[in-house]
């Protein structure tokens, strides 16, 4: 009888220990859930929010700085490429001609007239100061240059040239309108204006020299502005007339 009593006592103690262990595990799990729920409800501390805000601000500021720098580089490169392209194209047109019209290389005679004044009226459309205003067309009357008249020469010029087959043509530089025009017809009639061809706009400076040996020197500067970005490019060349008698 004493042996049986001891066995029942041992089994009861084991069951009691198991129940206590299970209860403790449930209590621990409940405590962990309460802590997690409490942390979720309480959110972040003020210090954590401030640190996160500072880090986010640094990332945004760095990103904006890189974007602004890349935008400036793109604008500066774009306007620089435009001035290089347009100045080179203008020089090529003067030397080799436009469309079916021959240029200075095929000329047999060249006469430079610097006693010329650009359009005397007030300039309203200063297209070279902003990219918002397009340049006027080549047939516009504001492109007139006045040769040998009462207006004071202002740096504009007319270069008249001819050859055996092409007849007499001229190239006008109007410093007030900052453009160079090719004129297949040298008359100042409406029909002659309709034939004028644009060589280049945005020409801030242009010089031409001639000599008795038949060499023509040309130098021109194209300057463009886009907001606070300004770019200019200067090109020059010497042309030996092939058909000089």
Strands 179-183 and 197-200: antiparallel
Q: Do 160 and 172 touch, CB atoms closer than 8 A?
A: no
Question: What pLDDT was estimated at residue 6?
Answer: 46
pTM of the model: 0.72
Instruction: Give tens-digit pLDDT for 155-194.
Output: 899 999 987 677 888 999 999 889 999 988 887 777 888 8
Q: Which residue has the higher pLDDT, 165 or 97?
A: 97
Three-state SS at 136: coil
Domain boundaries, the chain: 71-240
- If one counts every other C-beta atom within 10 angstroms of the C-beta of residue 2, the result is 5
Q: Is the pLDDT of residue 46 over 60?
A: yes
CA atoms within a 13 Å half-sphere pointing along the CA-CB vector of 193: 12
Mean pLDDT across the chain: 80
- Residue-wise pLDDT for 99-121, tens only, equals 888 888 888 889 999 888 887 66
Residues of the chain with pLDDT > 90: what percent?
29
Q: Are 145 and 156 in contact (CB under 8 A)?
A: yes
């Amino acid at each position: 009888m004493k042996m049986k009593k001891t066995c029942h006592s041992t089994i009861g103690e084991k069951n009691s220990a198991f129940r206590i262990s299970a209860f403790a595990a449930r209590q621990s799990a409940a405590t962990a859930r309460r802590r997690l729920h409490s942390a979720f409800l309480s959110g972040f501390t003020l210090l954590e929010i401030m640190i996160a805000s500072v880090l986010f601000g640094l990332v945004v500021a760095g990103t904006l700085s890189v974007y602004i720098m890349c935008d400036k580089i793109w604008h500066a490169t774009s306007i620089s490429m435009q001035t290089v392209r347009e100045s080179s194209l203008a020089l090529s047109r003067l030397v080799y001609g436009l469309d079916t019209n021959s240029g200075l290389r095929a000329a047999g005679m060249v006469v430079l007239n610097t006693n010329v004044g650009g359009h005397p009226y007030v300039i309203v459309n200063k297209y070279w100061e902003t990219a918002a205003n397009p340049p006027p067309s080549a047939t516009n009357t504001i492109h007139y240059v006045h040769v040998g008249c009462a207006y004071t020469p202002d740096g504009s010029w007319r270069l008249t040239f001819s050859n055996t087959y092409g007849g007499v043509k001229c190239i006008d530089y109007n410093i007030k309108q900052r453009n160079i025009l090719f004129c297949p017809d040298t008359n100042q009639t409406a029909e002659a204006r309709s034939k004028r061809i644009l060589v280049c706009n945005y020409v801030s400076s242009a010089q031409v020299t001639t000599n008795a040996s038949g060499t023509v020197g040309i130098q021109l500067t194209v300057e463009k502005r886009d907001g606070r970005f300004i770019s200019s490019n200067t090109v020059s060349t010497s042309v030996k007339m092939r058909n000089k008698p």
